Structure 1
Amino acid sequence: MNIINELGILAIAARLQRLAEQIRKDGVLIYKANGIDFEPKWFPVMYTLHVKPILSVVEVSAEIGYSHPSTISLLKELEKQKLIKSGKDKSDERKRMIQLTEKGRSLIKRMEPVWEVMIAAAEQLTETENNLMKAMAEVEQQMEVQSFYQRAKVIMAADESRK
């Protein structure tokens, strides 16, 4: 057992990050095993544009739940790879509209069967007694009600009032 595991709940963010990194690394290996050169970090944008073919930068950001700067960074990488293209919105020139290129759509077609394999493997991993996906959804709902920071502030204020 390493120190991060021993820390328990105090290291929740580190453990989630470690788990995500392990899954990402294996995702790269799965794509490579299928002859696909793809970074798992691109998945949220690519899949979103697969389902919703043309969106503004702000809409992409909202759909994937990332900050605007993080979304811009991903979009730049995808544009450099020629997987997406952008253009000005005809009705509002300030808006940049994003869509998959032909190369991007072709890549999605090659990835779809691989996603089925990934879903099956992920289901095996997460179908545990405490089902990780259900637990994550519950925690996300709890954070919508009151964030981690807000909860800590309430606890600190209560501790302060007891002094």
Structure 2
Amino acid sequence: MHDNAIDSSGVLAISTRLQRLSDRLRKDGQRIYEAHGVTFEPKWFPVIYTLLHRSPMSVVELAQEIGYAHPSTISLLKELEKNKWIRSKKDKADERKRLVELTARGKGIVAGMEPVWHKMRVALTALTDTTHNLMLAIAEVEANLDEQDFYSRAAQVK
């Protein structure tokens, strides 16, 4: 990639650079799904994958698990419910809660995606297994943020 103002700004543009990287991976992810005849949007992945492994869950638990704001999670759930991949029901223990789970159709679609996810996992591992392993670096930065957020760190700088 050619050097531009954003690239030259270093750590100041980390959010922009991560967004750019994310956009590239999402676009290619979409192409991979399409090449395998799978109608699936990468933005649905965190919800589907989490429900595959931890279903049923309340909407609040799901939002916390995937690290999304509640309204963003609701928006994804509406799309998936419209496609009949998930369903929601009232929690018998707490009528105020909605529990979300994959439908039989959703489970069937996910089963068909497993070979595609395998290919993606192999390709992404090759991409991220760099000298400074990206996944390990991301985990370190997330742990640092859990200790003290970016805002607080900046507020301490004199």
Same fold, judged at TM 0.5 (above)? yes
1:135 to 134, 137, 153: 137
Larger proportion of helix: 1
Say whether residues 1:58 and 2:60 are aligned partners: yes
Q: Which runs of 4+ in 1 moved over 2 A?
A: none
User: In the comparison of the two structures, how many residue pairs are matched?
Assistant: 156
**Any idea what SS the aligned residue of 2:9 has?**
helix
1:97 to 96, 99, 118: 99
Alignment of 1:5-154 (within 5 A): 5-154=7-156
Query: Scaled by the length of structure 1, what TM-score is found?
Result: 0.93
**Any idea what SS the aligned residue of 2:89 has?**
strand
Query: Scaled by the length of structure 2, what TM-score is found?
Result: 0.96
User: Unaligned stretches of 5+ in structure 1?
Assistant: none
RMSD: 0.8
Q: Alpha-carbon deviation of 1:52?
A: 1.3
Aligned partners of 2:66, 2:6: CA distance in 1, in Å? Answer: 29
Aligned partners of 1:35, 1:44: CA distance in 2, in Å? Answer: 20
Q: Alpha-carbon deviation of 1:53?
A: 2.1
Aligned partners of 1:52, 1:133: CA distance in 2, in Å? Answer: 23
Aligned partners of 2:93, 2:135: CA distance in 1, in Å? Answer: 40
Aligned partners of 1:91, 1:136: CA distance in 2, in Å? Answer: 37
Aligned partners of 1:148, 1:53: CA distance in 2, in Å? Answer: 33
Aligned partners of 1:47, 1:129: CA distance in 2, in Å? Answer: 28
User: Unaligned stretches of 5+ in structure 2?
Assistant: none
Q: Based on CA coordinates, which of the two structures has the bigger radius of gyration?
A: 1
**Identity percentage over the alignment?**
56
Aligned partners of 1:140, 1:44: CA distance in 2, in Å? Answer: 17
